[in-house]
Amino acid sequence: SKNHHYDFFIKESNYTRLCHEKTILTVNGQFPGPTIYARKGDVVVVNVYNQGDKNITIHWHGVDQPRNPWSDGPMYITQCPIQPGANLTYTIILSEEEGTLWWHAHSDYDRTTVHGAIVIHPKLSTTFPFKKPHKEIPVILSEWWNADVNLLLEESRKTGGDEVGISDANTINGQPGDLFPCSKNGTFTAAVESGNTYLLRIINAGLANDLFFGVAGHRLTVVGTDARYTKPFTVDQIMISPGQTVDALLEADRAANGSSNGRYYMAARTLATNTGIDFDNTTATAILEYADAPPSARAGLPDFPNNLPAIDDVNASTAYTAQLRSLGSEAHPVDVPTTDVDEHMLITIAVNVVPCTTGNGTCKGPLGARLAASLNNVSFHLPSVDILDAYYGSVRGVYETDFPDMPPFVFNFTDDNVPTERFFTRRGTKVKVVEYGAVVEVVFQDTAILGAENHPMHLHGFSFYVVGRGLGNFNQTTDPATYNLIDPPLQNTVTVPKSGWAAIRFRAANPGVWFMHCHFERHSEWGMDTVFIVKDGKTPQAKMMRRPPGMPRC
Ligand code: C2O
Ligand code: CU
């Protein structure tokens, strides 16, 4: 294994999209930010210099960080923010991951523009479990916002409403593409040659949108997700939620013989599971161009994918997701805990309100209250010092260890007629403490309290097996019998289906303090979060239990 070193300079830079010029927070002036390259088993050291004018932290999304929670990054969970003018060195320990992950800011809404890819190649003496691709093509999906979302966030924290609204365009590698004004010149173009196979490393870095992604005239063979290999399956398009990554092979099999087009659009479009609220219904495009096609074939308009599902086609999304299976080869075995679950947790997911406490007591949320979101009727409140330091330093009063402190309300979670009193939830900083090595099963249950929709639930510190998924209320008696305990996919972000449930399992063998939250940014901001504290077990490492020198103080 090898050490890699990167310098990240956080700074404001000028960017123009959709004819709209503004300064955005970037790493090294790049948007999307620089790609980190490593191999499985390597260690990456990143020096982050905050040359911007606000507090920031960086998170290495999907990296388990074994016994290394101090470098995980979420603000006020594992660290205090890096203040303007300060710097911090993160150590990223890659152990089991292989494929595509990403890094992003984990403070306020900074990840809107502060994000980039992590590409993890196989160890030197090993190779991909598929034919070596000719080239790799990064496909970072995200959004462009004309407004300054951090300003809107501040505003919404005051009013209790949803001032942040919706993005102005989806983007591919930072560009909305040809279909938008002032955008043609910047459209991302990937040059390919007929007869070759390409590996697309697809990331959904966006704040708000589940996305369908496809390429006109081509199919995609999915070979991995969240930096774990899957059994290959071929589709017209994928569905990818914020936080997730997909590795897919594309065969450049269109003959470049003049009779066929030499240019094809790649396109990303929102999957809206709750069409009752506003959403960004734009389609971002990039171009796949056959470099060996005659110039005449590269002159016209690219072909558009005619098979992208409708904007609200939940069935297309479900059908795609159901095909994800762990590879389960000798080199990449499946290790799903099949028996002796130590912790069974049912966690309800809801968008709610909390009483308005500002000004005249009237907020801009529903019922004049403050918009909130919750897990098991607790709307997570970020503390003002980090939980990790409070835990190891035995600082009292920062968090409570009684999550969930009461069983979820029992009612038909997915019913549309929710009694008004169910709209209200409580605020708290409640965490779940688990023994080292415990097998944990979490069943996430979506509710229809203020509207049902998909929720991409993300866990830090672990990848987990997604053993089951279904619609309606989870049934404790019959649903576990439907679990896939043979080859479920290993992921770090699971799309909990609208008005349905998803079950995950993991072994809590990574001591530390680990955030779990919805990867829709506004849901996380509103409190759709909790924390797992995993105890040290019999072999605590004294080094790990002290705040490393150089960590920022709050
Ligand atoms: Cu992608 Cu808590 O993060
Ligand atoms: Cu959510």
Q: Is the CB of 460 under 6 A from ligand 1?
A: yes
Q: pLDDT tens for residues 422-447?
A: 889 999 999 999 999 999 999 999 99
Q: Both tokens of residue 228?
A: 């774990």
Protein residues placing their CB within 5 Å of the ion ligand 2: 455, 518, 520, 523
Question: What pLDDT sits at residue 179?
Answer: 94
Q: Both tokens of residue 430?
A: 């409640």
| Domains of the chain, start order | 1-126 (2.60.40.420), 127-329 (2.60.40.420), 343-534 (2.60.40.420)
CA distances from 424 to 118, 133, 353 (A): 40, 52, 5
- Reply yes or no on whether the pLDDT at 12 is more than 60: yes
For residue 383, which amino acid is it? P
Q: pLDDT tens for residues 36-50?
A: 999 999 999 999 999
Question: What pLDDT sits at residue 538?
Answer: 84
How far, in Å, from the CA of 111 to the mean position of ligand 1? Answer: 10
- Reply yes or no on whether the pLDDT at 271 is more than 70: yes
How far, in Å, from the CA of 349 to the mean position of ligand 2? Answer: 8
Which residues have C-beta within 8 Å of that of residue 339, sequence separation ≥ 6?
none
Average confidence score pLDDT of the chain: 94
For the entire predicted model, the pTM comes to 0.97
Lowest mean pLDDT of 142-156, 337-351, 535-549, name the range: 535-549
- Reply yes or no on whether the pLDDT at 540 is more than 80: no
Which residue's CA is the closest to the ligand 1 atom numbered 1? 61
- Reply yes or no on whether the pLDDT at 309 is more than 70: yes
Instruction: Give phi and psi for 161, each to the nearest 5.
Output: -100, -165
Q: Both tokens of residue 105?
A: 């800011």
Mean predicted confidence (pLDDT) in 408-414 = 70
Q: pLDDT tens for residues 219-262?
A: 999 999 999 999 999 999 999 999 999 999 999 998 655 556 89
Q: Both tokens of residue 154?
A: 């501040």
Q: Is the CB of 59 under 6 A from ligand 1?
A: yes
Mean predicted confidence (pLDDT) in 505-514 = 97
Instruction: Give phi and psi for 423, each to the nearest 5.
Output: -65, -30
How far, in Å, from the CA of 446 to the mean position of ligand 2? Answer: 9
Q: Number of helices and strands (H, E) in the chain?
A: 4, 32
Question: What pLDDT sits at residue 258?
Answer: 54
Residue % of the chain over a pLDDT of 70: 97
Q: Which tops the pLDDT comparison, 455 or 423?
A: 455
Mean predicted confidence (pLDDT) in 400-417 = 76
CA–CA separation, 478 and 488 (whole Å): 19
ipTM over 0.95: yes
Lowest mean pLDDT of 142-151, 175-184, 257-266, 512-521, name the range: 257-266
Q: Is the CB of 17 under 6 A from ligand 1?
A: no
Running DSSP on this structure, what letter comes out for residue 257? S
How far, in Å, from the CA of 261 to the mean position of ligand 1? Answer: 40
Which residue's CA is the closest to the ligand 1 atom numbered 3? 61
Mean predicted confidence (pLDDT) in 130-154 = 97
